[in-house]
Amino acid sequence: KEAMAAIQEIYVNELDKPEVFFDFAGTIPGYTVSGSERDSILYASAENHYAQGSYDKAAESFQHYIDKNPKGIYATKAKFLKAESLSLATRWEGALTAYEDVIKDGAGPYLASSLYKAALIAYNQREDMPRAFKYYSEYIPLAETPEQQYESTLGALRSAFKMKNAAGVIEMAEKVIDHPRTTDDIRAIAHYYTATIALEKKDPDRAIKAYNEVIRLNSAELAAEARYQISSIYESRGQTD
């Protein structure tokens, strides 16, 4: 047993050839590697690359584990660490897809983190607003910290505004405005987004109400734009503000 453990160490950790070790072990009379042992050895091989900071190799090894053990003991963890590896290697599209694979597995210890990181990549690196909005929105009720909950709500609002999702803007603007961590400057932006969407939806009264909130909260450029928009609305009606 001790001799085989030493041989395993060489094949798996030093040579990075766990499959060769399995073949070798099969030639030893009376020695077998059980299914659960194979599962653990393949996973440990991949995790070893991750621990050493060899993220490209780690991603490849985690995928090999997943291919060999799609329902293995460490399958979901392997998917998550594959995503982490790709993210650390700045392979953004691959990382986003890998986080989505974890998300598809549903509830579990890596779901919340995968939603948050998928949203960040979709918004910042891929500029994919529909995916960003989806993952920010799904993360909010699962948020791991109050700060991340706030950042995700704000991220969902910005994503909705950029893709002109009126319902999303209204929903997330209300959440941002009411959030205890929100500053007046951010509240002003949320009201401004609401007003802009209201104008696009031909709802000038709602737009005026939101623009007035911008003016109440902000004395800078955003307030000047709000005053201009209110004047334009009244002018289009043949009125003066």
Please tell me which residue, 15 or 209, carries the higher pLDDT value. Answer: 209
Q: What is the pLDDT of residue 36?
A: 73
How many beta carbons lie within 10 A of that of residue 87, not counting itself?
Answer: 22
The pLDDT of residue 32 is 67
- Range with the poorest average pLDDT among 15-29, 39-53, 223-237: 15-29
For residue range 36-93, what is the model confidence (pLDDT) as tens digits? 777 888 898 899 999 999 999 999 999 999 999 999 999 999 999 999 999 999 999 9
For the chain, helix (H) and strand (E) counts, in that order, are 13, 0
The mean pLDDT of the chain is: 90
> Considering only CA atoms, which of 52, 45, 107 is closest in space to residue 78?
45
Q: How much is the pLDDT for 38? A: 77
Q: How confident is the model at residue 120 (pLDDT cuts 50, 70, 90)?
A: very high
2-6, 56-60, 217-221, 231-235 — which is least confidently predicted?
A: 2-6
Phi and psi (nearest 5°) for 127? 50, 40
Give pLDDT, residue 42: 85
Q: How distant is the alpha carbon of residue 64 from its chain centre?
A: 24
**The one-letter amino acid at 193:** Y
pTM, full prediction? 0.86
Among the ranges given (89-103, 154-168, 209-223), the one the predictor scored with the smallest mean pLDDT: 209-223
Q: How far is CA 51 from CA 6, 10, 54, 72, in A?
A: 21, 17, 8, 21
